[in-house]
Structures are given as C-alpha cells and as structure tokens.
Chain A
Amino acid sequence: MAPFRSFLTITPADHGKEASIAGWVEDVRNLGGIAFLIVRQRDGTFQVTIKKKSDPDLFNRASKVVRESVVAVRGRIEPNPQVRNGWELTATALDVLSPAAAPLPLPIADKVGADMDTRFDNRPLIYGNRIAGPSFGCARSSWPRSGPT
C-alpha cells in the first residue's frame, strides 16, 4: 500500500534495487557534471544523485528545482559509505509534486532569527526548521512505520 517509502525503511537488502521516495528538497547542489538533491522527510534527509551524461534533461530539471518543493524521485538505491545513511538514490525519474515559491518568507534550514509574529504567521514552515520543529513530535520515531512514507 506504500507508494512512497520512508527512507528509514531502506536496508542493505534494497541496495541495487529500484525505489520511489518523496520529500522536500532541502538543498540543490550542481557540480557541473553531477548534481545532488538533499531530500528531507519527517525523520531526516537522504541524497539523490543525478549524472549529467546519463540523462542531460533530468540533470537540467533537477538543477532547477526550487528549494522546499515536494518531489518524488525514482531510481536505484546505491551503497555509498561516504554519504549519510550509507546509500544514495541514483535518479532515473523526477516528478515535482508541489513546486515551492521563492524566496521563502523566512529561512528554513538555518536557526530562525525571525520575530515571534513572523514565525507564528508562517507556522507551517516552522516545523521544517530543525530548531523549532521537534517540540511537536520526536524526529526519530521508535515505533514501526508501515504504509505510506
């Protein structure tokens, strides 16, 4: 029943296999021949890798994704000891499910310096901020999660 997986459910048994994972694009890094998307879910982030020479069109689209857009990425889980989680998703398809407007009304990945009214007016963005968000739920849930995400 799970169309999009939680990145926490990826185990070494998935290495080399296809997966669809979705989340918010926290960062886009274009290094010329290779691009990385850091994609955030409720419990943390994972890395998506797109090589220009394997799919120039996908590479161009990925490089232009606005931060905080919601994307679904399909690709292969590849082990990589150098990245967080020990694996990355080598993308073969990218679907922008909900594009984010830019600029954001307040910084989301950094410590919030905005005043109280600005923060409360933009409450939905605050949880994404790792400083203020965790008061409402524990980031790493200890319970088993089945189904969507």
Chain B
Amino acid sequence: MRSIVVAAFRSYLDHQGFIEVQTPKLAGAGAEGGATLFETNYFGRRAFLSQSPQLYKQMLMSTGLDRVYEIAPAFRAEPSDTVRHVTEFTSFDAEVSWIERQEDFFPLLEGAVDAAIERVRTDCKAELALLQVEPKRPALPLKRLPYPEALEILRDRGKRLRDGDDIDTEGEKIIGQEMGREGRELYFVTEYPTAIKPFYVMAKPDEPEYSCSFDLEYKGDEMASGGQREHRYDVLLARMKEKGLNPENFEFYLKAFRYGMPPHGGWGFGLDRFVQKLLDLPNIREAILFPRDRVRLVP
C-alpha cells in the first residue's frame, strides 16, 4: 500500500506539470538547524547527511523548473524514542513557483493526498480488509485552522499557552480530537509565529509576527509542513542574520536569489508517518521495511 501511495503522488503531480528531481543527500550545510544533524567524515572535511531537500528545491525555483517534487530519504539525528520518530525517513517534498500566497498551492497538496487515499481504497481492498481499516477520503478544500484559533481550542481545554508558543505533540492530539468531532481527519493549521519558523519562511506582510506557513495534520499528527518562502534577497539575508546564521555558509543557496527568483512555496511531507496514520498502524516503524532509529542499524 505504501507503494500505491507513492505511485499516486507521482501520477498526480506528473499530470500537474511537475518534474521529479533528486537532490544531494550529502550536504555541506543543514537546512533545519544544527541540533539533529548527522555528521560524517568526507575525505577529511565535515559533511552532513541531508535533513531536508529544502535549500536545493528552492534553488531549483530560480532555474525555470517551476514545479518540482522529490521522494527520497532524509536524515535526522533524533534521539527520542517515540512511535512517530525514526532517524531515516522518506520525505515527499514539492516546491511551486508563481504563487501569490500559500493558498495558491494548497489545492496541489490536497489533491495529491486525496489521490493517494482514493488509490489505496480502490486498488487495495483485500489488504485493507486484512488490516481491518477503511481510510476515508477527505472533503476538499480542507479546513484551514489559523494558529490563534488553535491556541483558543487548547486554552479551552485547559492547556496553558502563551501567544507565540509552539504547539506540542499533546496539543496536536487535542486539536485532532476537536477536529475529529467535526468529522475532520485532515486539516491545515496555518500562520504559525514567525519566531518559531526557519529563516526561509515568509513573514505575513500585514502581521510580520506571524508567517505564511502551515502544518498539514492527519488524525492529530503532523504529516507535512511548509509555506510560502522568502524570495526577496535583501529580506532573506536580514532574516538569516536575525536567526544567528552566517550568510557566508549559505552562499551557494543565496546566489540563486541574486539573479531572479520567482515567488514560491511548497511542502515537506512524511511518507512513513502518512502510511502509519492512513492504516492506523501503532508505530511508524510498521510502515517502513527496514526502520532506523537510535538503537537499530540492522537489518
């Protein structure tokens, strides 16, 4: 069924004019911050296993390949032993140019996810019966739950959260239950505080303390996160400095923004976690043939 999900993503995006790409998994700089980087010795130099194709797929937006996707491994040195974390996961990433707001590409992500659920329901009847699950197709468009409303839900349920706090796993579960009551399994949480998002995320023009970002949630777990990216070179440089990053280490990336970068946005989507939630598997490892975690390196 995992294979059917991947085939459905590919087929859907290929028909929307996307090109499938492969970006390097050996990297000289990390996209999501240093805490979860695997370091490796690269002929005497420091290199890292790629956490995300983020920077590379953005660079591709400056080339004219204006819709790209990649389904490939990504690595996080994640020490936590949970049912939803592994150290090597399969990331389904896409990036789309010529948008005005993140809303412009939401239908592409919604369409891809719906296509995958539909294909599994149609092609995998016997397998679903064996596992005794019946994945439901979502009603599109999905609900967009802005971050401030998500905070309200959590406060009503007794969680103490200040404006600007991130929503933790427990908070996600509570919102998942609340959305479940409305019959929603899939929904977006949008416009997270800019301060808790990476440097490449665009701040909202009218309220810069919030960002043009989203998480896609499925049954109370994060499936994808993404948003509109900052395509303006000067603003991007300022954001990097604010975050304490040295632009010199990102020269290979910044260069792509100096010679004409279209407005763009996209997502990173966890394939393994999606299969886990789709089939109600108790542990993400059940959705991976050879899972990798803090203690497991073979088989």
Contacts and interface: CB of A to CB of B under 8 A. Distances in A.
A125 interface: yes
Most buried by A among B98, B108, B257, B263: B98
B258 A101 contact: yes
Contacts of A123: 59, 63
B258 A145 contact: no
Interface in A112-133: 122-128, 133
B17 interface: yes
A122 B255 CA distance: 8
A132 to B, nearest CB: 10
B152 interface: no
Interface stretch (B75-83, B99-107, B172-180, B240-248): B99-107
B260 A147 contact: no
A48 B233 CA distance: 25
Contacts of A2: 104
Given A1-B104, A1-B107, A126-B63, A143 B263 contact: no
A4 B19 CA distance: 19
Nearest to B231: A98
Interface residues of A, number: 38
A3 B263 CA distance: 11
B98 A148 contact: yes
B97 interface: yes
Interface string B68-97: 000000000000000000000000000011
Nearest to B60: A124
Contact of B96 (A104, A143, A148): A148
B63 to A, nearest CB: 3
Contact of A141 (B17, B21, B64): B17
A134 to B, nearest CB: 10
B262 interface: yes
Contacts of B45: none
A42 interface: yes
Contact of A68 (B67, B108, B255, B259): B259
Nearest to B252: A121
A144 B17 CA distance: 7
B64 A70 contact: no
A22 interface: yes
B230 to A, nearest CB: 11
B194 to A, nearest CB: 21
Interface in A74-133: 97-101, 104-105, 122-128, 133
